[in-house]
Amino acid sequence: MLKNTIRTIPDYPKAGIQFRDITTLLGNAEAFAAAVDQLAVPYSRAGIGKVAGIEARGFILGGAVARQLRAGFVPIRKKGKLPHDTVCIGYSLEYGTDEMEIHRDAVAADEKVILIDDLIATGGTATAAISLLRSLGAEVIAACFVIDLPDLGGANKIRELGVPVHALVAFDGH
Draw the binding track, 64-103, toward ligand AMP (x: CB under 6 A; -: no contact): ----------------------------------------
> Which among 73, 79, 82 is positioned nearest to 107, based on CA atoms?
73
- The burial class, CB within 10 Å (0-12 / 13-18 / 19+), for 153 is middle
Choices 27-35, 40-48, 97-105, 113-121 (CB under 6 A): range interacting with ligand AMP: 113-121
Residue 134 a catalytic site member: no
User: Cα(92)–Cα(99) distance, rounded to whole angstroms?
Assistant: 9
Distances (CA, A) of 99 to 9, 60, 132: 27, 21, 11
Q: Give me the amino acid identity at 14.
A: K
What is the smallest separation between the CB atom of 127 and ligand AMP, expressed in angstroms? 8
Is residue 94 flagged as an active site residue? yes
Single-letter code of the amino acid located at 52: A
Question: Which lies closer to ligand AMP via its Cβ, residue 49 or residue 124?
Answer: 124
Q: Going edge to edge, which strands form the sheet with 165-170?
A: 86-92, 97-103, 72-78, 50-54, 112-120, 139-148, 165-170
Q: Does 123 bind ligand AMP (CB under 6 A)?
A: yes
Task: Tell me how far apart the alpha carbons of residues 114 and 18 are, in angstroms, rounded to a whole number.
Answer: 27
Query: Which region, judged by CB under 6 A, interacts with ligand AMP, from 29-37, 80-88, 120-128, 160-168?
Result: 120-128
State which of residues 19, 153, 164, 168 lies at the interface with ligand AMP (CB under 6 A): 19
Instruction: Please tell me whether residue 28 binds ligand AMP under the rule CB under 6 A.
Output: no
Q: Of 117, 132, 140, 142, which lies in the binding site for ligand AMP, with binding defined by CB under 6 A?
A: 117
- One-letter amino acid at 133 equals L
Site string for ligand AMP, 47-66 (x = CB under 6 A): -------x--x---------
What residues act catalytically? 57, 94
Contact residues toward ligand AMP (CB under 6 A) are 17-20, 54, 57, 117-126, 154
